[in-house]
Structure 1
Amino acid sequence: MTVARPDLNLLTTLDVLLEEGSVTGAGRRLALSPSAMSRALARLRRATGDPLLVKAGRGLVPTPRALELRDRVRALVREAESVLSPAHRLDLATLSRTFTIRGSDGFVEAFGPPLVARVGAAAPGVRLRFLRKAGKDTAPLRDTIDLDTAVIEGPLPPDVLDTPLFSDTFVGVVRPEHPLAGGPVTVERYARARHVNVSRRGSTEGLVDEALHPTGHHRDVVTVVDGFGAALALARASDLVASVPSRHTAPLREHLHTFALPFPAPEVTVSLLWHTRLDADPAHHWLRTAVTEVCREAS
């Protein structure tokens, strides 16, 4: 047998009745006729099993049960009004929250310091948790991470939103003692060198090779790693050439020799991703704006 659910609209009626102590006065506040208000009081009496308001001379007085309920009903109604109202203005000074941001290798090194500084100055109670991106799966946005960075290569799921952060162009990187660090880098010299490729799937070819092939040359890829940091570490300690996105890896390339690729270099757009569940959240909107501004100011 299904039990009928109570009419929660009666809470508002009861709140006003107990505050006014008058069917007529409550009816005026709720824009109800005296007869409609009387019917509402009758429903409340049936629901609570108590008369709630009883006659005393020319007025009404609350029963002990009504007095017991008054503060609880008022709190419930105020809480419901708060739930069904737009969010209050964001107060960054008192905001206490931890946000999780996932980024590709080099993102934290390039953009983490100014982002941490900006967030700390505006919202000292906010903590940022950075995760290294291990794949392109957007599923973690649904529950475990707040923001993701990615080069979008295909349609996103309908519940994932995005905005472009910056464009990045690939460059070549070698240690200062490498032969390519001296003299002009031609396509022939670049192709003859030994290379390290970055691929999470373990592939020996990628965007750089797609751009190089029209010249009739091919790279000699002898090592494959899964991140830009690892590629640059190998370039720093050997004669391998690393081809990496410029802006993303700027701090990681310190004390290394960087050169423009001798053919039309591939360019990618890095975007910021988030789930629709967080789109209207004021604090999340503020953080998205901070990340976007930090990345664009660094251009």
Structure 2
Amino acid sequence: MNFATFDLNLMRVLDAILREGSTVHAAKRLNMSQSAVSGALARLRYSLCDELFVRHGNRLVPTDYAKSIELPLREELDRLAAILAPPSAFDPATAVGTFRITASDFFAEMLMPPLADLLRKQAPGIRAQLVDLVPNSYIDSLETYRADLALIPNQSIPNWTSSQPLFYSSFVVIARRRHLQLATAGLAPGTIVPMDLYCELDHALFSPEGNFSAMGDAALARMGRSRKVVMTLPVFSGVCRAVAESDLIALVPRQLAERVAPQMGLELYRPPMPIDPPLVIAVWHRRSASSPLHRWMREKIIGLTRRLNEGEHTSIGS
């Protein structure tokens, strides 16, 4: 390939096909015709001396060579975009783009509705996507371009990322109204569930990884006790629904519990053991730090989520 005569516009086409797995969807992404994208792919194959994609059903699957240059290509295109679009030139009212957030469905309730309203009013051309957390690999989606921002519990992060603290969130116990054992014990909503009863009841647990223990179990273990987890679910909405329609109980973030309790028929109680409220942080790849769209979106998201903060880091249930 003669780089001096190579059409660099073809790199945008290659990136779009790698992202979409389809010339049809790549054409929509680039605002081009499908025939133009197919023609560009033919030129790419000739110039790069590789098939680049093979058809598998309705998708185009990248060859090993195409896969090997996918991330380096995307990094270079991002770098060029940052160079050619200085921050002063960014106007959210006219900006067009897609911003992907990887987070639990806690944020489907607590972030996405106000974010939708904000984007409608300030940046109607920007699309927001909430994508699933990848079990045991929350950060990798940033490196592989599956997400632009991760909203996760505080943890050690690699040196190619940046982070910002967002909010602390305490936990409450949820149970359905007129829960048999809790009613028999004469417990009023908002009171502490006695330790023996708490450990005796069946629990549902939020765990994208399918683990049968979490922060609540570590807190119990420090007191020499354990609970009975009989069900795990990868989404908080599933945990709340399972509790609402059974005699299971669960520990969930207080903000979420207060939001969904009225429509799901849930009552809130205090756990019998102290649990340090975890800090939730925003994490992003440093390559995106200077991107005008990324900076604007993360500032708005950080502002919206910080409203959830419970204040000083104090233990509850003590």
Q: Which one has the largest radius of gyration?
A: 1
Matches of 1:112 and 1:236, distance apart in 2:
23
> How many positions carry a matched residue from both structures?
222
Matched, 1:112 2:112: yes
Matches of 1:288 and 1:85, distance apart in 2:
17
Matches of 1:119 and 1:249, distance apart in 2:
26
Which residue number in structure 2 is paired with residue 91 of structure 1? Answer: 91
CA contact (8 A) 1:106 1:249 kept: no
Which residue number in structure 1 is paired with residue 158 of structure 2? Answer: 157
CA contact (8 A) 1:94 1:125 kept: yes
Which residue number in structure 2 is paired with residue 225 of structure 1? Answer: 233
Matched, 1:274 2:291: no
CA contact (8 A) 1:211 1:265 kept: yes
Matches of 2:199 and 2:85, distance apart in 1:
63
Matches of 1:139 and 1:203, distance apart in 2:
20
Which residue number in structure 1 is paired with residue 299 of structure 2? Answer: 289
Out of 209, 215, 233, the residue aligned to residue 207 of structure 1 is 215
User: Kindly, what percent of the aligned residue pairs are identical?
Assistant: 29
**What are the residue-to-residue correspondences of 1:53-72 with 2, within 5 Å?**
none
Matches of 2:301 and 2:256, distance apart in 1:
14
CA contact (8 A) 1:110 1:249 kept: no
For residues 243-279 of structure 1, the C-alpha deviation after alignment (integer angstroms, 9 at most, x for no partner) is 1122245434333111111220242111111111110
Change (3 A) 1:190 1:123: same
SS at structure 1 position matched to 2:167: strand
CA contact (8 A) 2:257 2:268 kept: no
Matches of 2:83 and 2:254, distance apart in 1:
47
SS at structure 2 position matched to 1:202: coil
Report the CA distance between 1:166 and its aligned residue.
0.8
Change (3 A) 1:176 1:279: same
Change (3 A) 1:249 1:285: farther
CA contact (8 A) 2:164 2:281 kept: yes
Q: What 5-or-longer segments of structure 1 have no aligned partner?
A: 6-79
Matches of 1:258 and 1:270, distance apart in 2:
22
Matched, 1:133 2:133: yes
Which residue number in structure 2 is paired with residue 180 of structure 1? Answer: 182
Q: In structure 2, what residue type is equivalent to 1:180?
A: L
- Root mean square deviation, CA, Å: 2.6
Matched, 1:265 2:275: yes
Matches of 2:160 and 2:254, distance apart in 1:
31
Q: In structure 1, what residue type is equivalent to 2:275?
A: A
Change (3 A) 1:171 1:220: same
CA contact (8 A) 2:142 2:284 kept: yes
CA contact (8 A) 2:104 2:133 kept: yes
Q: In structure 2, what residue type is equivalent to 1:148?
A: A
Matches of 1:286 and 1:120, distance apart in 2:
15
For residues 88-126 of structure 1, the C-alpha deviation after alignment (integer angstroms, 9 at most, x for no partner) is 432122111111111112211111111111122111211
Change (3 A) 1:128 1:84: closer
Matches of 2:248 and 2:119, distance apart in 1:
38
Report the CA distance between 1:214 and its aligned residue.
3.0
CA contact (8 A) 2:85 2:292 kept: no
Larger displacement relative to structure 2 (265-274 or 211-220): 211-220
Which residue number in structure 2 is paired with residue 41 of structure 1? Answer: none
Change (3 A) 1:151 1:229: same
Q: What 5-or-longer segments of structure 2 have no aligned partner?
A: 5-79, 310-318
TM superposition score normalised by structure 1: 0.67
Matched, 1:145 2:153: no
Report the CA distance between 1:86 and its aligned residue.
4.2
Report the CA distance between 1:295 and its aligned residue.
1.0
For residues 220-244 of structure 1, the C-alpha deviation after alignment (integer angstroms, 9 at most, x for no partner) is 2222222222211111111011111
TM superposition score normalised by structure 2: 0.63
Which residue number in structure 2 is paired with residue 253 of structure 1? Answer: 261
CA contact (8 A) 1:212 1:263 kept: yes
Report the CA distance between 1:296 and its aligned residue.
1.5
